[in-house]
Amino acid sequence: MKEKRQTIFIDFEFTMPERNVRMKDFYAEIIEVGLVAVVDDQITEQFSSYVTPLKFPILSERCKSFLHISQQQVDQGISFYELVRKLGEFNNQYETTIVTWGNMDMKVLRHNCLEAGLKFPFKAAELDLSMEYKRFFGDQNQTGLWKAVQEYGKEGTGKHHRALDDALTTYNIFRLVEKDKRYLEKPKPTTIGDRIDFSKLLNEFA
């Protein structure tokens, strides 16, 4: 029996410092999470929440304006500890792959866990879909998430820089790329039996 596979599509939004302002010891922290869990091509769960940053809880004006996230929204979000506990729930019996667009999401999660003294929540393979997309299409540069989906003649889901919408858009691109890969796979070489109709051949010798 084929073992079920789980693929988790994740997008985080992070804090950012004011432009041209040096903040002592500043590092990016997760302030919004969007997650789509898929088992055998079926979405089994979607999760979205704002997250309250631990080290630098006050958002910069640049961050609020760029992401359209308010101070009140992150103040009322879940704690980073709750986020890590929630992510850990996806370590189930399935073989799991985490898919992100770019490598920043997992880097920031790892660093945030380190700073908070928490264990990294996932036991899973990780796939940077933007690199997969770049290799597949032979692009020189990495393509942005929404540019990639538009190159497919589609539109992103919802709003760009909304974590759940970006996670859903990543899932949609993943499906399109996987479909293209299957389409481009070389067909199996034909056997001699496929090329010659043996029944006709035998009739000729009968």
Q: Residue 8 pairs with which residues in a beta bridge?
A: 37, 98
Number of other residues whose CB lies within 10 A of the CB of residue 161: 15
Given 13, 29, 61, 160, the catalytic residue? 13
Pick the catalytic residue: 161, 178, 185, 204?
A: 161
Whether 13 is a known active-site residue: answer yes
Closest CA to 171 of 145, 138, 147: 145
Q: Please give the torsion angle defined by the CA atoms of residues 78, 81, 85 and 91, in that order, rounded to the nearest 10 degrees.
A: 120
161 has catalytic annotation: yes
The helix/strand/coil state of 98 is strand
Contacts of 180 (CB under 8 A, 6+ apart): 136
Distance of CA 82 to the CA centre of its chain: 20
Cα dihedral 40, 41, 45, 48, rounded to 10, equals 130
Please list the active-site residues: 13, 161
